[in-house]
Structure formats: structure tokens, C-alpha cells
Chains A and B, each alone.
Chain A
Amino acid sequence: MLIITRRPGEKIMVGDDVVVEVIEVSGSSVRIGIAAPKSIPVYREEIWEAVKAENQAAAAVEVDELPDDLPTPTRKR
């Protein structure tokens, strides 16, 4: 992994199009700004990981027939 020391206001280029800027350092928190082309989504890693795992689990399910006639949970009796 490339490790670079930067101060608030300084930036890092990832390729020609992605800019990562250190906005503010406060205690153990770092605020980071990221400017990327529309084709590149940016995620917090732990959320990306959770959604990836859920997508994989949903795709791996062995059920081939999804229920068609469903009891409606919100139905009022």
C-alpha cells in the first residue's frame, strides 16, 4: 500500500480524474473530500462490504420459486 503524508488542504491524485483532499484533521477523525467522475461511485468501505455481502447472499439463495400469492403483511383485518 502506498502511504503518503498530507496536511489539511493538500490533495492526492488517483489517476488523472480522482482527487482526494484532506479537509480537516480533528483528534482521531480525518475529513476527506473526494472528487471522482460520475462513472466512479464512492462508498464508505464498511457499507460497501455489508451491501456486497448481502448481494452475494441474495444471489446465492437456493430458492428458485418465489412466492406469488402472498399474505399481505400490512393488510387490515
Chain B
Amino acid sequence: MHLKLIAMWIWRFVVLALCLQSAAVVAAKDGFFSFGKDGYFEVTITDPYIELHTGPGRGYPIFHVIDRGERIEVRKQRTDWFKVRGTGGQEGWVSREQLSHTLTLAGEPIQIDEPGMGDFSKRRWEMGVLGGDFSGANVLTFYTGYAFSENMSVEVSGSQILGSFSDSLMANVNLVAQPFPAWRISPYFTLGTGVIDINPRVTLIQAEDRTDQLGHVGVGVRAYLTRRFVLRAEYKSYVIFTSRSDNEEIQEWKAGFAVFF
């Protein structure tokens, strides 16, 4: 029971750490901590006009247009929409497509392209969620990875395995080798180790909780989807080093998605 509690807290810590880390990465990237801003990015309109919507979506009505040559401040971004303020004080939302047809005050074209394939092969951080089958049980995995180079990365993951006879928590560390990082659909190989805590169902006859070490090898594929998203599917073969005379071998299939930064 103590082990289960400890494992549960480790699990929660992993989930919390993942959340905090993703927030920190995003915060660092987007300058979330730069409070007290006294200025905004300004651009000059080069299209005949741009349309201001009342909300960040294609369906929101257009309530104002600003003409060519006028300056606008870009206040914030939500998904593909930018909140802008004209010199007359009107505030509205402009699509990425329209805003890309403006110039910076230095006269250069604005760089607000979506992240693309190029960013995918140069990514540093990746985090995601995978679901699948762990020897007949449902498995949910959260992971985060850091790429040392285009080919090699290290990943830390936490999994919850929910079966008919037991539920388990598993933590893993593994190395990932990706031989063809520039491919849109790119295969990879993994090798790692971890620990699993197995709790039999309370409705079953008394069986003891146990914690075992394990090792695993795997093969998988990442498919670049769009923007900062990748689909990911993998197969892993685990060997659980039990305290019994023979080791337990388990096969796992998972698929899911990830974001990269």
C-alpha cells in the first residue's frame, strides 16, 4: 500500500513536471514573463486594406477595415489570429494570411509563418501522449524528450497501465535514435530501462503489490503533421526482471501525438 502511494505521488509529480516544463518552454519562447510591456510590434499595411474581425475566428463579423499605408500595432496572437490596434484606436482580430501581407517599420516583410517541417528536424524539446495496448491492458503514456542532435534524443516517460486484473504505474528512461531526421515520416529506434509497480485489483483474492525493474527495446515512426504537431506510433518489447525464477516478456503497441518546440 505504501509503495502504491509512493508510486502514485511519483506519477503525479511526473505529470505536474511535464505540465510545468511545457509551460516554461512556451513561456520562455513567447516572452510570457515580459510583464509591463510599454510597446508593441508595429507594421504598415501594404494590401489595399485589412479586415478587422470582432473575434479570433473566420465567422466573426468584420466591423472595420484599415487602408493601405496605415500603421497598426500587433497586440497578441491566438492560434492563427492576431489582435491589432489601428491608429484610430479600433481593436480587432486579423487573420495570419492578411497580416502576412504587411511590412515592418524597417520596410521588411513580416515573419509570422507557421512553424513547419524545417522546425521539426531542428526541434529540441518534444512532449506528448500515447495510448495503446500493453499485453491486453490499456496503457496511457506521457513523455518528454530532449534532442542532443538531429539523430539522438533522450526521453523520460510515465505510464499508467489499466487492465482487468491489475493496474500499474511505470516510469522509463530511454535513448531514441532517429537515422533520417529530415524525412516527413521518420523511423526511430529506442533502448531503455525503467521500473514498474503492479497493483492487483482489490476485488481479486489477496495478491501482493510488486515493484520490478525492466528493460525495453522498441521501434517506431514519427509523422510530421502540421505546425508543431507530430503523430507517433511505436512497438516496444519489455523484459520485466521479476523476483521469480523466470522473467516476464511483454509486448506493447502505442500511438499518439506530440508537440515540439
Bound together: no
Q: Hey, which bits of chain B sit against chain A, CB under 8 A? A: none
